[in-house]
Copies of this chain bind each other. A is one copy, B any other.
C-alpha cells in the first residue's frame, strides 16, 4: 500500500535518549509528542467509555490533533487501543516481578499469603493512587478488559499471565498442602476484587452513604491483601472431597 521506505507504525521505545544528536534517524520531537498525546487521550476515553464508545475523531479532538494522525501512527483504531494497552504493561509487570523476586529469595516460612498478594496488587494500587490520571485511566481500562467476555480473557492472558503464574507458584510454596484448583479459584476471586476496585465506579460511595470512597488508597491497601489472604487460607485449608 505504501511505497515509502520506512513503514511508520512501529513501537520505538528507543530513540528517546538521542533526540538531539545526529545519527541516521533524527525522528523529530514533535512526532513523539503527538504520538503520546494521542495515546493519552485514547487511554482516558477508552477507559471511560469502552472501545466502541469512542471514535477516532473523539481521540483526535481530545488530543488536539488531526484524527488522521491516529491512522498515521497506529494504522487502525484497534492499533491505537493495543498501543495504549501495551504502553504501561511492562513497567507495571516489572515491579511486580521485582517484588516477587524478593519474596522468592526469602525462606519459604517467612513468606505469608498476604505478602504474595501484596506483591501482586501493591504495584497496581500505588500507581492507581499516586501515578497520576494516566495510570488511573490505564488501570480502569485493564479492569474493564478483565471483565469483558470473549476477547477480554485472551487479551489479559497475553499480557499478564507470566506474573500470575509466579504468584500462584509462590502461593503454593507457602501453602504446601493446597490443591492447585483451589489456588486458581482464589486468584480468580482476588482478580475480581482488585479489578472492581481499579474500575472505581463510585458504587461503594453511594452504597455506604459516603462512609467509603472508591479512591481511598489506604483503605484498600490495608484491607485487600488481608481479606484475600484469609480467603486463600480458608479455601485451601483442608482436603476437598468434591471435584477433580
Query: How many residues from A make CB contacts under 8 Å with B?
Result: 73
Q: Is the CB of B242 within 8 A of A218?
A: yes
Chain A contact surface mostly: helix
The stretch of A65-73, A79-87, A205-213 in contact with B is: A205-213
Chain A window 183-225, contacts with chain B (Cβ cutoff 8 Å), 1 for yes, 0 for no = 0111111111111110111111111100110001011101110
Q: Are A224 and B189 in contact (CB under 8 A)?
A: yes
Complex: chain B residue closest to A202, CB-CB: B153
Query: Would you call A149 and B153 a contact (CB within 8 A)?
Result: no
Q: Determine, out of A29-37, A98-106, A226-234, the stretch whose residues face the partner at the interface.
A: A226-234
Question: Smallest distance from the beta carbon of A109 to chain B beta carbons, Å?
Answer: 20
Q: Closest chain B residue to A47 by CB distance?
A: B149
The answer to whether the Cβ of A147 comes within 8 Å of any Cβ in the partner chain is yes
**A196 & B195 in contact (Cβ 8 Å cutoff):** yes
A244 interface hit (Cβ, 8 Å): yes
Instruction: Give CA–CA (A27, B242) in the complex, Å.
Output: 51
Which of these, B144, B207, B230, contacts A230 with CB under 8 Å? B230
A129 to nearest B CB, angstroms?
A: 14
* Interface 0/1 of A142-186, CB less than 8 Å to B: 011011111011101100010011000000000000001110111
Q: Is the CB of A195 within 8 A of B192?
A: yes
Question: In the complex, A15 Cα to B58 Cα: how many Å?
Answer: 46
User: Cβ of B208 and Cβ of A181 under 8 Å apart?
Assistant: yes
A14 at the binding interface (Cβ < 8 Å): no
| Cβ contacts A to B, 18 pairs, < 8 Å | A52-B52, A146-B147, A147-B196, A152-B199, A152-B201, A153-B206, A161-B206, A165-B207, A187-B204, A188-B193, A189-B197, A189-B228, A216-B243, A218-B243, A227-B235, A230-B234, A230-B235, A231-B231
